[in-house]
Amino acid sequence: GNSVTQMEGPVTLSEEAFLTINCTYTATGYPSLFWYVQYPGEGLQLLLKATKADDKGSNKGFEATYRKETTSFHLEKGSVQVSDSAVYFCALSRSGGSNYKLTFGKGTLLTVNP
Amino acid sequence: SAVISQKPSRDICQRGTSLTIQCQVDSQVTMMFWYRQQPGQSLTLIATANQGSEATYESGFVIDKFPISRPNLTFSTLTVSNMSPEDSSIYLCSVRDRSMNTGELFFGEGSRLTVL
């Protein structure tokens, strides 16, 4: 079955530090990959996505590249801000067909200190 | 994108009672999904709610515990029945973006339930 393995947290960084949150997946076929973010007290928001191999998703300074050869979708940001403090979830869905269930990783709590 | 409103946003409930969570979407959608997020955990899909048919439940979730209604294409309810402290979670409603064939989901802000 499908699964997502995310880097365990929590992660604590100083402002302007470089961020990497690792994510690897197991899936049949060619899934779409997502990063969702959950700010304190809020629901999930889509941060970025990639739908095929070698695609790079980007948003708000965050990037992730769909690597089929390593089945990975690591999240990176060159310079984090205090406002980036949140829980980040890696997720996948099987592309096509009628099955649009998302499989989530366990989430990584990021805290950015000023 | 879709705007999803959930009510209540949070509640404190007594053991043995039931609570119904409402989910309203600003556009017509075929499938709505209910997820549970237990404290410190990831999201787990409870069921898929289709308009005009019974909900489809995931392994480990049953209709008697989590009855779902889907009376039209913009609204759904999830009831958490006979609650126990283990049901303390955030319950999230989500919908698929019909314009994208990528499985992307939009989420409501969640309903945070605490069972005493």
Structure confidence by residue, pLDDT tens digits, B64-111: 999 999 999 999 999 999 999 999 999 999 998 666 666 678 899 999
Structure confidence at residue A28 (pLDDT): 81
Categorise residue B110: left if φ over 0, alpha if ψ from -120 to 50, beta otherwise: left
Per-residue exposure over A20-59, b if at least 16 CB sit within 10 Å of its own CB, e if not: ebbbbbebeeebbbbbbbbeeeebbebbbbbbeeeeebee
**Shortest Cα–Cα distance, B43 to chain A (Å):** 6
| Tokens encoding A5 | 């393995």
Distance CA B14, CA B114 (A): 9
- Does residue A95 register a pLDDT over 70? no
Contact B110 A107 (CB under 8 A): no
Residue of chain B minimizing CA distance to A35: B104
**Pairing state between β B10-13 and B111-115:** parallel
Q: Which residue has the tokens 């609204």?
A: B75
For residue A2, pLDDT beyond 90: no
